[in-house]
Structure 1
Amino acid sequence: MPWPISTPSPPLILTLEIHKIQSLGVCLLPKLMGLLCFTEQPTDHYYRYFTLAIEQYYYNLTSFCLGSKPRHTIFLEYMKELFYIYPKKRKWFFLFHSEMSHRDNNFLSQMDEDLYEHLKGLHSEKQLDQAILIFLADHGARFSTVRATAQGKQEERLPYFGIRFVSHFMAAPGRSHTFAIILELCFVFHIFFNAVFVFRFPEWFHQKYPNIVENVKTNSQRLVTPFDVHETLHEILHFTGTEKANISKRGVSLFKLIPDERNCDWAHIDPHWCACMEWTKIGLDDPILKRVTKKIISTFNNFTKPFRKECAILEIINVTSAVMLKVKDAVLRFRDTSDGGRGRFGKMDDKTEHSKILYQVVLTTKPGDGVFEVTVTHQLKENKLEVNKKDISRTNKYGNASHCVVNKEPFLRPYCYCKDVMKT
């Protein structure tokens, strides 16, 4: 999606900060996935050049350090310095950090005290008096042991999003207007869908913008997506009001009231990523499961078939769990309310039948012990099983096992176990 700050008026001083493992960076990883990245330096200040220059020395240093300093403090200080350099300019700070949490969320605790002191300092110096400060994540742990739990499934699909208004964010002529975003990204470049967020407003903001405060408070209990965040960023630059949101659009501003009837379908969230669904467990000895898993493994092997000289044929070791999703029978039977839509009791005599059933399966493959979570669609009318590549999640690391196709076909990294690795 386009950057909301592409054509701001009046002009902003922009900065994009990236402090992470560059081999998994915001530009390299999209490139490996066949997506586009920046063709030119996208901002006035671009931290990536610095990290590229120093990363070659990381392996000779204490973990997460550059000399005697924690690397994340250098990252934070860089942002703080820009407040001093442009005290009267409108600014957009975009800070992207994942180094400490990419492999293990527990490392994040090492950053707590420094981040607290950094924000406390900005606050005491009144650097945030004309700012909107946002914390967000793209998703939770995808590769840790937590991911194998029910809570882990929610973690991947429900990233954190928090925003704090600390002063007048509607820019006045001649006044500083800062929009600061700090992202602590547990992992990088993964589409996230259902956002969990909290807002904190000072007392003056409640008095000046009560409608925004009330809408945001209500929306914290509604279904929201990253596309809504994108629209909210536009809204900050070009405020259009606080009326009820039009949820027929893919993204709506969080300053507008999101109706409670919004669901994953209306928000364009695929079933694989929807955290609002009710799933029913199916037995591992259920005949349909054998057919579903056969479809899954054949799909994986069809992906790698053009590279059969390099990639081993995968087999299923075991199935960990299997659940089924279908539209509730009550929903299908519902035809109308008994009083033309004005009452609580409905006519449950509709004859609509199920058109499809979704199966979500967690399984392990060999060689390589790859763990996958796959959503399979069963089209009942045609009695046909379908697997879409966007409905597949590899939930454990594959490291160097797919090195033989990384440059040829990056998409195959989760599925290809290189034959030469088997020999070593």
Structure 2
Amino acid sequence: MPTHFPSSPFHFFSIVLVSTLYLLFFLPSSGSTRVVFRSAEKKKNAAPLFVFGDSMVDNGNNVFLPNPEAKFDFLPYGVDFAEGPTGRLTNGMNPADVMAQLLNLPAFLPAAKDPLSKGERILNGLNYASGGSGILDSVADISACISLNQQIEHFRTATVRDLSSQLREKGQQLASFLSKSIFMFNAGGNDCSWMCSQANSGDGQCTAQEFLQSLLANFTQQLKAVYGVGARKFVLFGVQAIGCTPFARAASGMKDGYCKEEMNNAAISFNKLLSSSLGDLEKRQMPGSRIVYVDTYKIVRDVFDNPAPLGFRVINQTCCRLSKSSQNKMCEEGSAPCEDRDAYMYFDGVHFTEALYKHLAGKAYLSELSSEVYPYNVARLVDLELGPAASSNAYAETESHASS
């Protein structure tokens, strides 16, 4: 059975039952402008959500893999999640979970690698993300996880065939379903981190334009592959401030409040290349599509540089005790996490707390600042009426393949 949103009183933000929806809005309270949740009447129609990417949005796919490096289905991960440890690399929900709530979905998305994720269970969407994954297959190979290309191929083949069958039984068209769905990507961070790890300190290789251009070219082809199946609404999360993570700062001997800017510059450079390419993607390479770019770097860096007004008090320490065997990246299995988890920015050495993820997803969904989301927010993207994907030759070919 699908995992429905919990109503546990132990969550920092209470979660109502399916008959209501939490909407995010920015409400200053006692000097805090952190995003908070409010309930509103549930809309009649929810937008299906399909999620691709890395550990920031992985909801448990790695649990179904044989001994991946990024398989963390143990406490303290999931300490605030209703089901406990599920493979999510945080204390509670991640951005994909929060976005599912905001899109009025009745339950958290199933993990695509779960053998039970088929039939009617996938009609609200699927999560394909895998911790350790990157845009490049070689990055995913390091962690023996599911590469972004493999995630997309899973969607294009098995998922599309299953959806086509399920929708046909309900008298619905796959083309219309896909054109209304949201396709969310969080990728590139592991690729940039890997490139920086290969470079000698200060030699500029962290921001090598040839590498970053190649990375963008690969990502563009991946987006076009999903578009070719019929996807029209995309949400792309930029690379976060990878040089500000506790792991990156500790490995570089940075003082509290300072980041390893060489790594951050790689993230900034890739984000600029990506965001500046969106106009061409929409008009020429993916006509009829609409793309929302979320400036994860800015949203995260704003918290790091000025945490107090947003309700965060601890940015230089992790909420959990770190494992030496993971090179101080991940939580030590069975260790006790910090008590005031909503005050912490980072849960482990590289991943955020649920509180930060709620802030990030809330910005993506409702922010009116073009410096945070461009050209508009996810809420507006959902409301856009786009033509059915069946008008494209690529989709017609996919429909024929799916029904064969």
TM range (shorter): under 0.3
- TM-score, structure 1 length as denominator? 0.25
**Structure ID, larger Rg:** 1
Higher strand share: 1
Higher helix share: 2
RCO (CA 8 Å, sep 6+): is it higher in 1 or 2?
2
